[in-house]
Amino acid sequence: MNFKDKKILIGISGGIAAYKIASLVSRLSQEGAEVHVIMTEHACEFISPLTMETLSGQKCCTDTFDRSRPFEVEHIEVTKDADLYLIAPATANVIAKVACGIADDMLTTTFLAADCPKMVAPAMNTRMYSNQITQDNLDRLRKYEIEVIDPMVGHLACGDTGAGKMPSPEDLYAAMERRIARKKDLAGKRVLVTAGATCESMDPVRFITNHSSGKMGFAMAKECMLRGAEVILVKAATTATPPQFCQIAEAKSAEELFKTVKRLAVNADVVIMAAAVADYTPAEYVDHKVKKKDGELSVELKRTVDILAHIGARKRPEQFFCGFSMETENLIENSTAKLQKKNLDMIIANSLVDAGSGFQTDTNKVTIIRPEGVERCELMSKEMVAKTVIDRIADEING
Ligand code: CTP
């Protein structure tokens, strides 16, 4: 719900991708944003302003001389207190105009008048997009801190294939969210997050794993990304969808995770170890499928490396390490012992016995433990848990 009470301006110019913006407007409105849609005359050929009015619940502006309220200059009025202005799709023509400060219709006039963060999502024929004139215009926009959302490569409406396809409404939403959802209090920080369950193979068919869904780790990674951090997300097994704008590395087993984390932790300002790591792995890997026989089967297990303890012992004073602790009894005592033993700055303790907490759920009830004390949190969504935890981490590392 990062768009609640935000005032969002969406400019639509005349490209076939205009129809895709309807679902973006609908989603933003449903999340409680005040969405104002501004359309060029050509955009109105592709999709009706009535569609946008119906989905946004706001008058759709298409003409600079149209005044909804007496004595207000609408092209200035609509931009006041705006949190974000996105032009999508942005045609080559509109990009050229706004790059030069031309303001000859409602869209270009409001874009020039708005002093909020601005973004454009180019969508056009691939030869128009790659033309140096368009590229120079986009560079000019970047120079003015107008974010350009790169188009995708794909099949274009004109029949050509290449760069010029507007990203999906979901991708536009994610880019907008990244731009305005949080203050960038982790800008310049490199954060390493691990998530998911490790898998310890016995043979090419079978493995030992656990119930971790990866959702908590993904929520932590997303929260750090929204705050401007460079996030490296190492994911073990998970079926959840990883957040956008994070570098993703994969590590299946505890051993692979150890090698990857050991390498990456050296250059991280913050390490958040949310992965559920196996403490034991089969002592021997059999390289063919083990056939069943009469009687019982015993599998010998050996200890894995405690990754956090290993990197914790090498932690530099300016680094901040956060672990997770899953317990079914003596939550605070056992988790505090892990905090000390692994030389951590924070450990997030969750009890498997609390309703709505733990594996696979979308909610969690955690206790934040630091050397200075214990903070018990209410049951919250995993996103809210991540926000609360990262608030504390940001406060601590920013002094
Ligand atoms: N962890 C790790 N390496 C391991 C096991 C755990 O880095 N081999 C990390 C986890 O990612 C987590 C923290 O240590 O951040 C605590 O994990 P948890 O499973 O709660 O505790 P353990 O240390 O494994 O102890 P126990 O299983 O006895 O509770």
CATH number of the domain bearing residue 38: 3.40.50.1950
Residue 1: inside a domain: no
User: What's the CA-to-centroid distance between 310 and ligand 1, angstroms?
Assistant: 11
The DSSP secondary-structure symbol of 309 reads: H
Question: Residue 207 in contact with residue 278, Cβ under 8 Å?
Answer: no
What average pLDDT does this structure show over 160-188? Answer: 96
Of the three residues 180, 215, 245, the one that is the final residue of a domain is 180
d(CA 97, CA 107): 10
Question: What is the rounded CA–CA span in Å between residue 227 and residue 398?
Answer: 13
**Stretch 215-223: mean pLDDT, rounded?**
97
Is residue 391 assigned to a domain?
A: yes
- Shared-domain flag, residues 125 and 148: yes
Q: 148, 180, 212 — which closes off a domain?
A: 180
d(CA 84, CA 8): 5
SS3 assignment, position 158: coil
CA distance 168 to 326: 38
Residues 133 and 27 grouped into a single domain: yes
Q: Looking at residues 353-376, what average pLDDT do you find?
A: 89
| Residue 185 within any structural domain of the chain | no
Assess whether the C-beta atom of 217 lies below 6 angstroms from ligand 1.
Answer: no
Q: Which atom of ligand 1 is nearest to the CA of 341?
A: 23
| CA atoms lying within 13 Å on the CB side of residue 195 | 28
306 CB under 6 A from ligand 1? yes
Same domain, 263 and 353: yes
Domain range for 385 is 190-397
Q: Is residue 278 part of a domain?
A: yes
Q: Are residues 12 and 98 in the same domain?
A: yes
Say yes or no: CB of residue 258 within 6 Å of ligand 1. no
199 as an active site residue: the answer is no
Q: Annotate 189-245 with DSSP letters as a single string.
A: -EEEEEESB--EESSSS-EE-----SHHHHHHHHHHHHTT-EEEEEE-B--SPPPTT
Q: How far apart are CA 55 and CA 37, in angstroms?
A: 10
Domain count, the chain: 2
Q: Are residues 255 and 348 in the same domain?
A: yes
The whole-number pLDDT of residue 398 equals 94
Please give the average per-residue pLDDT across 293-317, as a whole number.
97
Mean predicted confidence (pLDDT) in 79-104:
97
Residue 65: the pLDDT is: 61
Does residue 218 share a domain with residue 121?
A: no
Detail the DSSP E strand segments found in the chain.
7-12, 34-39, 84-90, 118-122, 146-148, 152-155, 161-165, 190-195, 200-201, 207-208, 230-235, 247-250, 270-273, 280-282, 301-303, 320-327, 346-351, 363-370, 373-381
With left for phi above 0 and alpha for psi between -120 and 50, is residue 342 left, alpha or beta?
alpha
203, 284: one domain: yes
Task: Kindly state whether residues 95 and 227 are assigned to the same domain.
Answer: no
- Residues in contact with 236: Cβ distance below 8 Å, sequence separation at least 6, in sequence order: 194, 195, 196, 197, 198, 199, 212, 214, 250, 251, 252, 257, 275, 276, 277
38 lines ligand 1 (CB under 6 A): no
Three-class secondary structure of residue 94 per DSSP = helix
Residues 173 and 97 in one domain: yes
Residues 6 or more apart whose CB falls under 8 angstroms from that of 279 comprise 303, 304, 306
Task: Say if residue 128 is in the same domain as residue 146.
Answer: yes
Predicted TM-score (pTM) of this structure: 0.94
Centre of ligand 1 to C-alpha 238, Å, is 18
Express each pLDDT in 116-128 by its tens digit: 999 999 999 999 9
Neighbour-count burial of 241, counting CB atoms closer than 10 A to its CB (0-12 exposed, 13-18 middle, 19+ buried): exposed
The encoded tokens of residue 213 equal 């869904």
**CATH code of the domain covering residue 278:** 3.40.50.10300
Catalytic residue among 61, 116, 158, 199: 158
- What 8-state DSSP symbol labels residue 32? T
Atom of ligand 1 nearest to the CA of 309: 7
Contacts (Cβ under 8 Å, ≥6 apart) of 259: 251
Over the stretch 151-164, which tens digit does the pLDDT of each residue have? 999 888 888 889 99
Which whole number is the average pLDDT over 77-82?
Answer: 91
Q: Over the chain, what is the mean pLDDT?
A: 95
**Does residue 2 lie in a domain region?**
no
Mean pLDDT throughout 139-151?
Answer: 98
Among 131, 149, 180, give the residue marking a domain's end: 180
Under 8 Å between Cβ of 268 and 191: yes
Helix axes 49-56 and 21-30, enclosed angle (nearest 10): 20
| pLDDT of 388 over the 60 cut | yes
**Residue 153 CB neighbour total at 10 angstroms:** 12
Ligand 1 contact via 254 beta carbon (within 6 Å): yes
**Residue 149 sits in the same domain as residue 286:** no
Domain for residue 127, yes or no?
Answer: yes
Return the ligand 1 atom nearest residue 276 CA. Answer: 11
Q: What percent of the chain has pLDDT over 70?
A: 97
Q: 280 and 364 in one domain?
A: yes
Q: Is the CB of 321 under 6 A from ligand 1?
A: no
Q: List the one residue out of 235, 223, 153, 151 whose CA is nearest residue 189.
A: 223
Examine residue 216 and state whether it is found in any structural domain, yes or no: yes
